[in-house]
Amino acid sequence: MRFRPLAECRLYTFVDTAYLRGRDPIDIARQLCDGGSDLIQLRAKGSTLEEVRQLALLLLPVVSAAKVRLVINDHPEIATEIGAPCLHLGQEDFFDAGHQHVEELPQKKQGIEIGLSTHTPDQCARAINAGADYVAIGPVFATGTKPLAMPVTLEYVRWAAGSVRLPWFAIGGISLETVESVVQAGARRICVVSAILNSRNIIEACREFRRRID
């Protein structure tokens, strides 16, 4: 499966089980694809490993058919098992687990792209040196998805715009009310969770975010 290069990707969305509210995750994924998502991350905090595996197996063919990357969050073994194109790990899942370079991961050797979360310039530089395929810059604003995380503010976005050549995505509390400030700070790629999943029309919300960043 050939996907758009990460450097050309703009909109990174989520199937987050915390925001489904009884809705069909497959239907949500289709709407995210139809709206113009370039990557869709499966985030299922609190779900069992088997529940995540089963959901990933259902999502992968739907998302891949639209030539969109399915990103597995937190579970390298599931990414390997189902052949997902991308895996995302937090600082605690990668560096705190003793890893120094993505080449140490069997997933990377399998050809899976690896994204790493970063919250400071030092963390970002370390992630780049570790061989990440992309980095997340955030949380830019306060966000319900990570209520204990301190916002990194637009200053970190401005730093990334001037310093980071690797594909990077601004993330955290980005809404239609704040996205223009993020773009003005230099972001060309964004991650959006609640502002899309809580919208009345997911397809149109995705398209509007794309309009703002394109």
pLDDT tens-digit readout, 12-47: 999 999 999 999 999 999 999 999 999 999 999 989
Distance separating alpha carbons of residues 127 and 45, to the nearest angstrom:
23
DSSP E strands in the chain: the ranges are: 11-16, 39-43, 69-73, 86-89, 113-118, 134-137, 168-170, 190-191
CA–CA separation, 177 vs 195, rounded Å? 10
3-state secondary structure of 57: helix
Closest among 23, 19, 63 to 44, alpha carbons compared: 19
The answer to whether the beta carbons of residues 72 and 86 sit under 8 Å apart is yes
Burial of 63 (0-12, 13-18, 19+ CB in 10 A): buried
pLDDT digit string, tens, across residues 71-87 = 999 999 999 999 999 99
- Mean pLDDT value of segment 187-192: 98
What is the DSSP secondary-structure string of 94-141? HTTTT---GGGSHHHHTT-EEEEEESSHHHHHHHHHTT-SEEEE--SS
Q: Which domains does the chain have, with CATH numbers?
A: 7-213 (3.20.20.70)
Nearest Cα residue to 144 out of 197, 199, 192, 194: 194
Please state the pTM of the whole predicted model: 0.96
For residue 40, which amino acid is it?
I
146 pLDDT more than 90: no
Q: What is the predicted pLDDT for the residue at 5?
A: 97
pLDDT averaged over every residue in the chain: 96
Percentage of residues in the chain having pLDDT higher than 70: 99
Q: What is the pLDDT of residue 17?
A: 97
